[in-house]
Structure 1
Amino acid sequence: MAAVLAVVTGCVSTGAGKGPAHGGTHASRPETGTTTMRGITLPSWYRTDYDSPAAPRYLRGIKATGARWVTFTPTWYQKRVTDSAPHTTEETASDASLRRIVQRAHAAGLKVMIKPHVDLPGDADRAEIRPRDRAAWFAAYRRFITHYADLAADTGAEQLAVGTELAGVSGDTTAWTKVIEAVRDHYDGPLTYAANYDEYQHIHFWKDLDLIGIDAYWPLAEKATTDPALLNRAWAPIRQKLAAYSARRHRRILFTEAGYVSQRGTTTAPYSWTVSTHPANAEQAAAYRALLDSFEGRKWWAGVCWWMWDDWPDSGETPARLAYTPRGKPAEEVLRRKWAG
C-alpha cells in the first residue's frame, strides 16, 4: 500500500516443508501455476516484534482463519527520498527473530513469504523514493535484498518478494533485471514484486519473475457502503483488466496485499489508515467478502495476502477497533467461512 505502512490452499507467500537451497537454476515451479494463496501478513515495527510472547498466539489465530500462508515484512529505512542507501534501525526485525518466526510458522503448518520493505520516516510514501545516485542506491538495494534471499533460502521460506511499492525506481528495468538475477543466485523459490495498484502496468520486468504481485487497494465506492452488489460491480471492470493483463504477460496475478480498515468509508480509500473515526466492522467485512467472491476460482488469480493480522501489543498507533486487523471482527468470520469452512 503506497500511502500506508503496510492461495487454493495457501498464501502465495508462505509455506511449510523443506525450503530451497542456494545457487540453483530457475526451474519450473508448479505451485506458482496451480495453487491459490490464502494468506495474511504479520508485519513488524520493532527489532524484537517477532520474538514477542504474542507471536505464537498470532500464528495460531492466522491458521484458524483457514489461511495457509503468512507474510513477514522486515523493513529497512532511509531518511530522505534522495538517499543512496537504506539501512537498518531499531524498527528493523532482527535476523534472529525473523528466523525464529519463520520456524514457528512452519511448525504451525503455515507457508511463508518474506516481503522486505524499504520505508521513509513517519507517513512519507516509499513510492516517492528517487535517489540522487541511482547506481549507488541499486548497489545497496542488491545487498539488502540478497541478504533476505539468503535468509529465505536458509529458513526454507516458500516465496520471496524482491521489492514493494517502489514506484519512484521501479521503472528502471535494467537495474531491476540485475537485482532479480542476483536474487536468483541466492534463492531458488518463486519470486514476485509487490506493485501498488496504480503502478503494476508500468513494470516491465514481470517476465523475470514468477508472479505479478499487486497491492490491491483500488477504491470501490464513492461513499461508505456494505452493499455486496455495488462492491461486486466495482470489482468487475478491474477484474476484466487484470485477466487481460495476466494473459498478455503470461503470469498469474497475486494480491501481495489487500486490506480494509474497520472505519466508515474504508471502501472509498482502502489505502488509508485514517478514513474516519467511526468504526464500521460491517463495511470491512463486506469488502473482504466482495474481494473473495469476485476473484476466487479464477485460474489466472494466484490469491491474496491480507494486510494485516494485528499490531503487536502496545505498538499500534491506530486503535484495534479502527485498524486493518480483522481479528475478532466480522471480517475474520468471513475468512473462516470462506477458507476454513
Structure 2
Amino acid sequence: MNAMRRAAAALAVTAALFLAGCSSTSGSPDGSATGGPTGTRPDDRKVSGLRGITLPSWNTDDYDRPEAGQFLRQIADTGARWVTFTPTWYQDGLTDSGMHTTEETAGDDSLRHIIGLAHSTGLKVMVKPHVDLVKGQDRAEIRPADRDAWFAAYGRFITHYARLAADTGAEQLAVGTELAGTSQDGARWSRVVAAVRKVYGGPLTYAANYDEYKKVPFWGDLDVIGIDAYWPLAEKATTDATGLREAWKPIGDELAAFSARWHRQILFTEAGYVSQRGTTTAPYSWTVSKRSGDDEQAAAYEALLAAFDGKPWWAGVCWWMWDDWPGSGETAKRLAYTPHGKPAERVLRQWWGAH
C-alpha cells in the first residue's frame, strides 16, 4: 500500500471512531478518570463529531445565573448537540511565569452546575479552558521569560480542569487555546498532554488559531486537530454565500492534506461571524463596523456548512458564540457574534435539522 493509501486508510479508521460517538467520562473518588484507560493511544479512542455552540463566561457566577438553563435549551433548539464552556484564568503580563483566577474566572461550582444542566438538556460538553491577559492583550503573544516555570503552572491549571471534566462526565477537553507563543514547544506540550491523560479519560484536542495550526508539533499526542477557523474570506462586505463557499475551497484542500498527514480529523473548535457589515473580511474581529450585517453573517454560516458538511476529514464545528449574559456584553446583541434570533440561526436550524 503506498503512502497516500496508508494515510487514507488510517484517516478512515479514525473517522469511523470519531463518528461512533464519545463515551461519557466520570471521575473516581480519588480524582482519576474512569472514562477510558490512561495511556491509551489516541488512535484507539472514540471521539464524537460536533454540532456545537460556545457559551462563554465573563464573571465568576455566570454559569450559576438563572438564565443558564434557558440559554442551554435555546442552544439545543437550534439542533446543536454540544456546548462548549470556557473557564478563564489570567496573566498579568505577556512574559509572566504563571496564571491565576480573577473575579472573571468561572467558579468551579458554577462550572459543575452548568455541565450538569447541559447533560440534563441532552447536550454533550466540551470544556475549553482559556488563558487571557488582565490588560486585554492577545493570548497568542504570551512568551514566558521562564518557560519551565510557565509550563509547570500551566500543567497545574489544565489538570485542574481535566479532573473537573472527569468528575462531571464532560465528553471532551481542549488542553489549550490559541497559545501560539508556546505551542511550538512540542516536548513540553507533550508532557502537558500526558499529565492530562493521567486524570481524564476522554478525547483531547488543542484549539489552534487558523494561522497557528501548521506550526503545532504535538497533534500526534491528541485525538483530533482543533482549529479556530477565522480565515478572512472576502476583501469587501458580501452576502454571496456561493462566492464565500468558493473562498473556502483552497483552504479546505489544505486542511484535507493536513488531516491525512497527521491521521486525525479536524474540528473547528471555534468559528463565528459578528452581525456587522464586512464580517467576512475579518471574522476574528468584534468591531468590523458599526453597521448591522445580519445577512452577511447568515451567508457566512451557510458557506461554511455547505463547504465542509460530509467531508470525511472534518469533525464538525463549535460556533462562537451564544448570547452574552445580561449586563456583561460589551457589544450590542444586534452587532455581536450570537446568531440567536437572526437569519444565521435559521441557517443552523436548516442544516442541523431543528424543527
**TM-score normalised per structure 2:** 0.90
- Shift of the alpha carbon at 1:229? 1.7
Secondary structure of 2:199's match?
coil
Choose from 182, 190, 194 the match for 1:181: 194
Aligned 1:106-121 pairs, distance under 5 A: 106-121=119-134
Aligned residues between the structures: 329
Aligned 1:16-165 pairs, distance under 5 A: 19=26, 22-23=32-33, 24-27=37-40, 31-32=46-47, 35-165=48-178
Aligned 1:189-200 pairs, distance under 5 A: 189-200=202-213
Give the greater-gyration-radius structure (CA). Answer: 2
Q: Partners of 1:314 and 1:190 in 2: how far apart?
A: 35
- Shift of the alpha carbon at 1:108? 0.3
Asked if the contact 1:145/1:162 (under 8 Å) is kept, the reply is yes
Choose from 199, 218, 234 the match for 1:205: 218
Aligned 1:6-17 pairs, distance under 5 A: none
The residue number in structure 2 matching 1:301 is 314
- Shift of the alpha carbon at 1:288? 0.4
Asked if the contact 2:175/2:193 (under 8 Å) is kept, the reply is yes
Q: Partners of 1:175 and 1:75 in 2: how far apart?
A: 21
Choose from 300, 303, 323 the match for 1:290: 303
Q: Partners of 1:15 and 1:51 in 2: how far apart?
A: 26
Q: Partners of 1:282 and 1:125 in 2: how far apart?
A: 29
Q: Partners of 1:48 and 1:228 in 2: how far apart?
A: 39
1:68-124: per-residue Cα shift (whole Å, max 9, x none)?
000000000001001100000000000000000000000000000000000012431
Asked if the contact 2:274/2:286 (under 8 Å) is kept, the reply is yes
Choose from 273, 291, 306 the match for 1:260: 273
Q: Percent identity?
A: 67
Q: Partners of 2:27 and 2:160 in 1: how far apart?
A: 15
1:1-46: per-residue Cα shift (whole Å, max 9, x none)?
xxxxxxx9xx99x9795536525324465642xx421000000000
The residue number in structure 2 matching 1:270 is 283
* 19-28 or 124-133, larger mean C-alpha shift: 19-28
Asked if the contact 1:114/1:161 (under 8 Å) is kept, the reply is yes
1:277-315: per-residue Cα shift (whole Å, max 9, x none)?
000100000000100000010111000000001110010
The code of the aligned residue for 2:26 comes to: G
Choose from 244, 269, 272 the match for 1:231: 244
Larger relative contact order (Cα-Cα within 8 Å, sequence gap ≥ 6): 1
Q: Does 1:333 align with 2:333?
A: no
- Unpaired runs of 5+ residues, structure 2, are 1-14
Secondary structure of 1:272's match?
coil
The residue number in structure 1 matching 2:333 is 320
* 179-188 or 17-26, larger mean C-alpha shift: 17-26
C-alpha distance 191-17 of structure 1, shift in aligned 2 (>3 A): closer
C-alpha distance 20-206 of structure 1, shift in aligned 2 (>3 A): farther
Q: Partners of 2:336 and 2:135 in 1: how far apart?
A: 17
Q: Partners of 2:25 and 2:188 in 1: how far apart?
A: 31
C-alpha distance 70-262 of structure 1, shift in aligned 2 (>3 A): same
- Unpaired runs of 5+ residues, structure 1, are 1-7
Q: Partners of 1:55 and 1:242 in 2: how far apart?
A: 35
1:147-183: per-residue Cα shift (whole Å, max 9, x none)?
0000000000000000000000111111001000000
Secondary structure of 1:239's match?
helix
